[in-house]
Structure 1
Amino acid sequence: MTIVRNRQGVEMNFRDVERKMNPQLLAELKSLNESEDEQALFEKYATAHVDRFHQSFAPFTGGRS
């Protein structure tokens, strides 16, 4: 189990967070073929989510998902 931390430092299981991610956006980020750990991917996804959907990614910001 990989643990990631959101913006407030709350620990979460990355697999649980990953299930809440948009599959297309996640695939696009993974296709960049950058060897990043799950924490870096989580943070990058949160930024990309705002850019694409014009709203924060709740698991990262600590909001309701």
Structure 2
Amino acid sequence: MSAMREELHSLVDQLPDDRVQPVIALVRENLLASRRTQAAATLEMIRERMRGVTGVDEELDQLREGVVSA
């Protein structure tokens, strides 16, 4: 376990029980926001790389709709 994780565990262990839940909620919220940011950045990178490629939008729409092209 990294030193930062060990420190977090140590600090949480020192909290009164009624203060642990708000800390966990804050960590979860931060984690979800980080994942959304990473997903948006990945999508933008894919869009940029695919810019100008003919038929990409149609292909993506077919994939979203579950249509398989032959």
Return the structure number with greater helix share.
2
TM-score category of the 2 structures, normalised to the smaller one? under 0.3
RCO comparison, higher one (Cα < 8 Å, 6+): 1
Larger Rg: 2
What's the TM-score, normalizing by structure 1? 0.26
Q: Higher strand fraction: Structure 1 or Structure 2? A: 1
